[in-house]
Amino acid sequence: MAVKLKRKPKGTYHHPDLQGALVEAALQIIRKNGVDSLTLRDVGLRLGVSRTALYRHFKDKSALLARLALEGFRIFHQTLQSAVDQASINKKDPLEEMGVAYVNFAMANQSHYKTMFSDAICTWGDCPDLALEADGAFAVLVNTIAAEQRAGRIIAEDPARLAQVIWAGVHGLATLGMAGHLGNHSDIIHLARHHCHTLFTGLRLAPSKATRRTKSAS
């Protein structure tokens, strides 16, 4: 299959990869002016394509947003996993590093993160692929918790439940941080580290039945 030209010199009626280009263009727009400013007409305009061309590739606006969200979870997944890997290399607390990476991602990609958790997109249950991708990112957290439990560093509660608790903490930091209620970026990162540290101190020992004091093993 011959490669088509990217530009439309004159006879280029069909765009080589409009679907991907639409996602990219939409992403640039929300990066620049926020999710709420995204208009289908602008997306088309930016690609030199008509305002409704989008409808051949997405059912409606929320489908486009869902696609952006999916793309976001992909990168997010990768970012979190990378943070855990780095922690392992540098002998740091993987959960704490992941928490910081989480908040960092949200602060550095505010519009994208907001889109990922927007009410406008279908509830995850309705979009199987989106739910799958989101679950993938969540699994990084669950797996890390399970690993920490196997290493005997945190209490042995249901990992999924613990994951939800930790998730809520960093998600709260992210959303409040983006809203400007927690100070500047570096304030928020410090706060994230503080939060994780405090939370994980709480997770470290069950107060009553803990007999073995695992104070600074190693």
Partner DNA sequence: AAAAAATGTTGACAGTGTCAACACTTTCTT
Partner DNA sequence: AAGAAAGTGTTGACACTGTCAACATTTTTT
Summarize as ranges the residues that interact with a second copy (CB under 8 A): 34, 36, 91-93, 96, 114, 117, 119-120, 123-125, 153, 161, 164-165, 167-173, 175-176, 179-182, 191, 194-195, 197-204, 207, 213-218
Token pair listed for 178? 């983006």
Among a second copy, DNA, none, what binds residue 93 when CB lies within 5 to 8 Å by partner kind? a second copy
Q: Which does 171 bind (CB under 5 to 8 A by kind): DNA, a second copy, none?
A: a second copy
167 contact choice in a second copy, DNA, none (CB below 5 to 8 Å, kind-dependent): a second copy
- Of 22 and 95, CB closest to a second copy: 95
Residue 139's φ and ψ, nearest 5 degrees, are -65, -30
Cβ closer to a second copy: 49 or 63?
Answer: 63
- Sites for DNA among residues 36-65 (CB under 7 A): 38-42, 44, 49-53, 55-57, 60-62
- Sign of the four-CA dihedral 185, 188, 189, 190: positive
* Contact between 161 and DNA per CB under 7 A: no
Interface ranges with DNA (CB under 7 A): 1, 4, 8, 10-11, 13-15, 18, 38-42, 44, 49-53, 55-57, 60-62
